[in-house]
Amino acid sequence: MVLMARRRKARLATMMMNLRSDVEPRTEIPPVLITGLSGAGLSSAARVLEDMGWFVTQNIPPQLIVHLAEMIADPTSPVDKVAVVTDVRSREFVGSLEQIIAELSERGMKPLVMFMDARDDVLIKRFDNLRRTHPLQGSGTLMVGIEREREMLSGVRESADVIIDTSDLSVHDLRRVIEPNFSSIANKRQHVTVQSFGFKHGSPRDTDVMIDVRFLPNPFWVPELRPFRGVDKPVADYVLSQDAAEPFLEHFMEMFDDMRPGFEHEGKKFITISIGCTGGHHRSVAIAEEIGRRLRDRGDLDVNVQHRDISRN
């Protein structure tokens, strides 16, 4: 692993040496900063981007991040997609993150910050399974380390462009979340993720808009519909045929149109809409699918629909 790290650093240094300072910047694809809580899946996220053709480097000194961004902005660079992974082991980075973002923004290279998160109980279980200590726990408990890290990174999380809660995601689920978000990042269109969920499994923390559709009749209480899910036509037809469904959908689309300019003004390229019902099997799934379809029909958005709890009991 040491040899691989040395090779990667040598590769990075060689590319930086080949930069020219007299060229116009290439800024179609912003540099990505992957950060978040230890144990929340930073390395897994990095592997997904690496498989998608991104040049990924981990925990480099803060001053090199700016040089790295300049590298991909150079039209002569062999690399056009770069992601940097950083965590609390790079304390200097955490303290200067806002300064780095500001400097890159001034140069027309505003980075995209992806924050990996997870519930405390999930993080504890992951550390226990791996028999690892938390980098900030010192002589205290694992929970103390997690709390310290949350506090340290709270400002970073608040300003992140993308927040991914991996509490209920497998490695394969994480790939399905990341790939649609980043596969079309160069087209500068807003990307909207519409996710269904069940309130009984907890509300998602990685969301911008949350809607409760439990006001609609529940197909669970219709015996012939109970075995199906909202992606199945019998359930979808039942949910969408309710008197309140179409007025709600029309109002929601109008509300989204009103919100969208604000998101654009804030530079928010990734929007997550969460639709909840009781179990996340029927109503929320059908409504999420329909909202996703209507958003796609706009033609100017990249839309991904996912169902967090559709397979849970």
Q: Compute the distance between CA of residue 91 and CA of residue 97 in angstroms, rounded to an integer.
A: 10
Phi, psi of 214 (to 5 degrees): -75, 0
The tokens describing 203, both together, are 């509300």
Contact 252, 291 (CB under 8 A): yes
Contacts of 5 (CB under 8 A, 6+ apart): none
Q: Which residues pair with 270 in a beta bridge?
A: 191
Q: Is 87 annotated as a binding residue?
A: yes
Contact 156, 91 (CB under 8 A): no
> Which one-letter amino acid corresponds to residue 289?
E
Q: Is 89 annotated as a binding residue?
A: yes
Place of tokens 């996912």: 306
Instruction: Sort 215 into a burial class: Cβ within 10 Å, 0-12 / 13-18 / 19+.
Output: exposed
Q: What is the CA radius of gyration of the chain?
A: 21
Q: Is 131 left (phi over 0), alpha (psi -120 to 50) or beta?
A: left
Q: Compute the distance between CA of residue 58 and CA of residue 83 in angstroms, rounded to an integer.
A: 8
**Spatial strand order in the sheet of 162-165:** 55-58, 82-85, 32-36, 112-117, 162-165
Binding residues for GTP: 87-90
Binding region: 87-90
